[in-house]
């Protein structure tokens, strides 16, 4: 097993512990493969009735994919390792699909940072999932900040958040807390970190037939500590639904500019820092994803990833934020006015024939 993914079976629960604290549990290809292998192994095993995935660190559940790896491989000359980049996204998205349709209860403890790829291994399907948040939860799909788009199934789960909340989160990359996550239907229960040791003890000793019911009952006394209806998203819901409707990024920004509230002003400032192209691509992606199945969304995203690296916007974004840390990405095109619909739609053009798509077997 990979050193950054630990596992143990206790009380018929398969515990997966992400253990790469220095990198905030950023997912490597090896970690993706380790998690996949465990889930496949436990899928039909009578020894395991449920899966519980968490982190060894309170700082982060998982901060996403290893974007420094993306940059190193994407800029390597010669590009002999580009196959590893292809493998990473194909296998990561296949893992996201496996988790979404897992046949046993799948519980994710989202303590600390939960971003990007971390959301992909947290957002299981409604038939199996239970997503726990804490006062430390910092959740986001921040890909537009590095010239990428909300992948790992973001086309599906963001498009199904209430109203235009998913559009807002995808286009701004804004970080939300536990109450926000509950309101956005990106989490299910709140448990404070002080109570987590007691929860873990309970899981290891209880005879409950479904640990999700057990956890919900355990979490019930803490519900008043993170009330969805009192979240920032709830308070700004009307403005979010108003400004982020439609399919035109320019109109979104124009609508925000006409709103004199502090929320609209801060949102506008945030979006000025994002890749103009990838904000526009993200808006198109989420509108398409609203009408697609999980498998169709993941196949679309796999195609988009190829176009993204070919264009180079993501490499520039990672350079500015992670490599050189000058925090001054040179986006291309530099403004929304220079982006036409043909460029946006080019990110959705087929890369492979249907029979050769890396994720063709997903149902």
Active site members: 65, 117, 143, 151
Of 250, 349, 245, residue with least CA distance to 306 = 349
By the 8 A CB rule, do 120 and 32 touch?
A: no
Order of strands across the sheet that contains 138-140: 60-62, 113-115, 138-140
C-alpha separations of 30 from 84, 113, 252, 296 in Å: 11, 21, 40, 25
Q: What's the rounded Cα separation, in Å, for the pair 302 and 309?
A: 11
- Report how far Cα 223 is from the mean position of its chain's Cα atoms: 24
179 in Cβ contact with 227 (< 8 Å): yes
Distance between CA atoms of residues 48 and 38, nearest Å = 11
CA pair distance 150, 166, nearest whole angstrom = 10
CA pair distance 327, 16, nearest whole angstrom: 35
């Amino acid at each position: 097993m990979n050193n950054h993914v630990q596992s143990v079976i206790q009380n018929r629960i398969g515990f997966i512990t992400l253990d790469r604290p220095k990198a905030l549990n950023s997912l490597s290809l090896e970690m993706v493969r380790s998690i996949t292998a465990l889930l496949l192994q436990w899928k039909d095993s009578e020894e395991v009735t449920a899966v519980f995935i968490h982190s060894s660190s309170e700082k982060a559940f998982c901060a996403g994919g290893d974007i420094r790896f993306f940059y190193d491989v994407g800029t390597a000359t010669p590009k002999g390792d580009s196959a590893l980049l292809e493998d990473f996204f194909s296998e990561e998205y296949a893992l996201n699909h496996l988790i979404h349709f897992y046949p046993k209860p799948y519980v994710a403890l989202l303590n600390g940072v939960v971003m990007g790829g971390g959301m992909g291994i947290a957002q299981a399907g409604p038939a199996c999932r239970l997503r726990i948040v804490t006062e430390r939860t910092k959740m986001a799909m921040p890909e537009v900040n590095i010239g990428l788009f909300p992948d790992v199934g973001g086309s599906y789960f963001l498009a199904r958040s209430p109203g235009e909340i998913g559009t807002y989160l995808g286009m701004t990359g804004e970080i939300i807390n536990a109450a926000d996550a509950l309101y956005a239907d990106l989490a299910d229960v709140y448990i404070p970190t002080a109570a987590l040791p007691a929860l873990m003890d309970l899981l290891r000793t209880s005879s409950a037939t479904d640990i999700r019911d057990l956890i919900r009952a355990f979490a019930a006394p803490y519900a008043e500590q993170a009330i969805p209806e009192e979240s920032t998203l709830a308070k700004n819901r009307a403005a979010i639904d108003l400004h982020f409707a439609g399919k035109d990024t320019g109109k979104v920004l124009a609508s925000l500019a006409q709103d004199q509230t502090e929320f609209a002003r801060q949102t506008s400032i945030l979006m000025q820092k994002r890749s103009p192209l990838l904000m526009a691509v993200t808006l198109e992606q989420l509108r398409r994803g609203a009408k697609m199945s999980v498998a169709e969304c993941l196949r679309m995203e796999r195609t988009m990833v190829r176009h993204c690296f070919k264009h180079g916007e993501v490499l520039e974004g990672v350079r500015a934020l992670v490599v050189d840390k000058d925090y001054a990405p040179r986006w291309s095109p530099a403004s929304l006015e220079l982006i036409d619909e043909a460029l946006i739609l080019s990110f959705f053009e087929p890369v492979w024939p249907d029979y050769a798509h890396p994720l063709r077997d997903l149902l």
